[in-house]
Structure 1
Amino acid sequence: MEYEAGDYRKLAVKQFPARSIRETAEGKYWKQFKAPVFAKQFGPVTNVDFCQEYPYNFAVTASTRVIVYDGLTRQVRRTFSRFKDVAYSGCFRQDGKLLVAGGQNGIVQVFDANSRSVLRQLKGHQRPVHVARFAPDKTHVLSGSDDVTLRWWDISAGKQLLRLTGHEDYVRAAAVSPSSSDTWASGGYDHTVKLWDVRSGKASMSCDHGAPVEDLAFFASGGLLVTAGGTNLCIWDLLSGGKLLRRLSNFQKTVTCVKLSPYAGPDSAAAPRMLAGSLDGHVKIFELDDFKVTHAAKYPAPVTGLGLSADCSLLAVGMADGMLSVRKHAKPKVVQGGAAAAQRRRRAPRLTAANFRFFLRGRNAKAGSGDVVVAARRRVHLAPYDRALRAFRYRDALDSALSTQRADVIHSLLDELAARGGLHSALAGRDAASLLPLLRHLSKHITDPRHSASLAGVAARVLDLYAPVVHTDERVDAALAQLRDALRQEVALQESLLRLAGCLEPLLAAALLSGTSVA
């Protein structure tokens, strides 16, 4: 008998309720950073700094070394080991030609980034120097030390120009304002953030963070400042005299580092964001309008340093156990300037009869109120599993559905086979190669609450059918073991939830009896 397309009703794919948490475009962007490349350092990573020039090499400070990695290959390019003790705060100059770092012995050293030779040794601090930064003019350096002072150096002459005093405890953070090269901010363990003018050598503003300040960063406008310390991030409005705009408490342990992602251009998918890392092992991304967390990543150890390249294509995170994680974005969408986009527009072909798109004009146009619409009869397209199901080839239909790797299609087909009484014929008589996709699908989705009810029955039938041939194929045995482990984990999770519910029920009942709100 010949079946027409109209005689067969296509498989109705189930529409499951939307999940309560959907992946946002922001989360998808940050998840497109590829699997991290891990590099073990000689000690805890205390600082990560990216060069602003292509190819965006980055310096990693750990133990007694500052290691420079290539931004393209992510391999070690140079190692600076001219330190008698622990090194701190290895940072590039804006052009990437020089590198500055502090040390446990209180000496600030300036290196040639290419030859690794020591160009200057700036001596004056009496205790370890934990922060050193180049000024935008490329000829000065600001350093902060545990001797509670900051010092302003002229590297061309190799001498100290200013000694900035005002902090009462260790100085651990410093940054220059993007709007004025003479304005610097510093933070210390005395809980204060100070704003300095290096022309006068005096502090023009002081803010109380409320906890030891670990790091700070200016916003691109220079009017806002973010400070990290304790479990909080504080946003300060400097133009309003140091007014506290927002206190963010999104971490469980000390926030150790904070960075503002650079503006990668109008053609980039990376909007400006704030990144912060903490000793609880989390790196969280904040949007800059309401400072809400848009994405979070968990790392296997406390985060002690992080950096993001100027084109937002490399994310490097250092940890307290000495591990460095470097992730590269899968599809960086950065265009240098607008010239490339304009060139692409100029090269766009003119729409004439010589172009196929000329004959597709108006396909998306909608009919007017006075137009007569003629319904076009289109041939019904059947998916491979529908064609097999129409011909009562139930096993082929299941194989075709499994090949789509779409859970909604597979589960709709299994329900249809069960309703037709063809589930047994679809499952029986399979060899190892055809059974493995079904077992993998069961292992992956049997613990999903949306599908567990139907898949549990399918799994029971599979075990009944193939129990006699267990231990005859290693691949099938491994897939069955994976299914068993998934079920064990789910049972353990349900037991934990039941115990937690049992603990909460008396508390909720007592609260209801006493009239106390439990919201």
Structure 2
Amino acid sequence: MTTTFKSVPLVAPGHTRPVTHLSFSPLQVDKSYLLISSCKDGNPMLRDWTGDWIGTFIGHKGAVWSSKISTDTSIAASGSADFTAKIWDSYTGHSLHSFPHNHIVRTVALSPTPSRLLTGGQEKKVRIFDLNRPDAPPDYLEDTNGLAHEGTIKSVIWVADNLGVTAGEDGNIKWWDMRSRTVVEKIIYPTPVTSMELSPEIGRLVVTSGHSAAFISAVPNVLPIHVVNLTYSPSSASIHPILQDRFVTGSLTDEWVRVHTMDGGEREILKGHHGPVHCIEFSPDGELYASGSEDGTIRLWQTTPGKTYGLWQGST
């Protein structure tokens, strides 16, 4: 007799307002990893791979739109509506430095080293801060008119020490040479880019725009680009980092998490959230994916329901 397991998520509470962004650390030597969450309550939170709370970074005075953890998990970065980006000691929770901006910071990224911070947001400017000289003025990535994009910058990603990628509401995705600070490649979408995340394990960018999810090499000028057209507008998407046979999405039009095959077929619709799903991300080992919602919760879903993994003990 075959047992069918129902996908039952673990609920990670703690936030008091909508969860806006989720990001996993790379897989560590002991096969563990961390999850950092951003929220409109202004308090980024750090959790271990089971979803258990480790700590909260206290110091922002407005909604936090983006947060990332460094490759070695030693520091974290966050961008906020209080017009600052902050660097945190992920072991103590202390703020190491605050970088002022002139408008809302929507997205942040740490260089692989990590020695530099990339930020973008409502100003349509991309700044580069040197973490070894935090009081020095930032450098800028500029394309035209002194701006990086013609619309709000929704995502910045540091692919390699000398390569960055930015995406904006102007529909542009731009690859930048971080040495010359010039655009080396560009893709233009007819509708605003709503999200862009890097799947570092496979070196692909996952982009949502309009009704599409696109899977693009993180390195410029490498084809093909795989585009999947959906019947709804995804707010965020993430690809399985090992199998590459499925992707998951959230949407602002309903409360569901969807699992799709790579041709767009619908494998599962997962219900559990009580508000639109703002963000979704696969863990680096592909065993689970996390979703963040308007309802203020993070839910952790098993890729293979019923498998004994972490706090899941084969529950049906």
Establish whether TM, by shorter chain, passes 0.5.
yes
CA RMSD of aligned residues (A): 2.8
Task: Give the alignment of 1:107-122 within 5 angstroms.
Answer: 107-122=84-99
Task: Give the alignment of 1:15-414 within 5 angstroms.
Answer: 33-37=7-11, 39=13, 41-52=15-26, 53=28, 54-63=31-40, 64-72=42-50, 74-123=51-100, 125-158=101-134, 159-165=136-142, 166-177=148-159, 180-218=160-198, 220-222=201-203, 225-236=205-216, 241=221, 245-252=225-232, 254-263=233-242, 273-279=246-252, 280-288=254-262, 290=263, 292-298=265-271, 299-328=273-302, 330-331=306-307
Q: Which has the higher strand share?
A: 2
Highest Rg: 1 or 2? Answer: 1
- Residue-by-residue CA offset, 1:443-487 (whole Å, 9 max, x unaligned): xxxxxxxxxxxxxxxxxxxxxxxxxxxxxxxxxxxxxxxxxxxxx
Deviation at 1:155, TM superposition (A): 0.8
CA–CA separation in structure 2 for the residues paired with 1:169 and 1:117: 33
CA–CA separation in structure 1 for the residues paired with 2:218 and 2:52: 40
The answer to whether the 8 Å contact 1:209/1:234 transfers is no
Higher relative contact order (Cα pairs below 8 Å, separated by 6+ residues): 2
The answer to whether the 8 Å contact 2:230/2:264 transfers is no
CA–CA separation in structure 2 for the residues paired with 1:239 and 1:157: 29
CA–CA separation in structure 2 for the residues paired with 1:292 and 1:317: 20
Deviation at 1:204, TM superposition (A): 1.2
3-state SS of paired residue (2:161): strand
Shift of the 201–76 alpha-carbon distance from structure 1 to 2, 3 Å rule, reads same
Shift of the 317–225 alpha-carbon distance from structure 1 to 2, 3 Å rule, reads closer
What letter matches 1:110 in structure 2? I
What letter matches 1:42 in structure 2? T
Shift of the 145–239 alpha-carbon distance from structure 1 to 2, 3 Å rule, reads closer
Deviation at 1:118, TM superposition (A): 0.9
Deviation at 1:238, TM superposition (A): 7.3
3-state SS of paired residue (1:203): strand
Deviation at 1:161, TM superposition (A): 4.6
For structure 2, the residue ranges without an aligned partner over 5 or more in a row are 143-147, 311-316
TM-score scaled to structure 1, two decimals? 0.51
Shift of the 117–187 alpha-carbon distance from structure 1 to 2, 3 Å rule, reads same
Alignment length (residue pairs): 293
Shift of the 183–316 alpha-carbon distance from structure 1 to 2, 3 Å rule, reads same
The answer to whether the 8 Å contact 2:81/2:105 transfers is yes
Deviation at 1:287, TM superposition (A): 4.2
What letter matches 1:126 in structure 2? N
Percent identity over the alignment is 19
For structure 1, the residue ranges without an aligned partner over 5 or more in a row are 1-22, 264-269, 335-519
CA–CA separation in structure 2 for the residues paired with 1:176 and 1:67: 22
What letter matches 1:194 in structure 2? K
Q: Which has the higher helix share?
A: 1
Shift of the 273–176 alpha-carbon distance from structure 1 to 2, 3 Å rule, reads farther
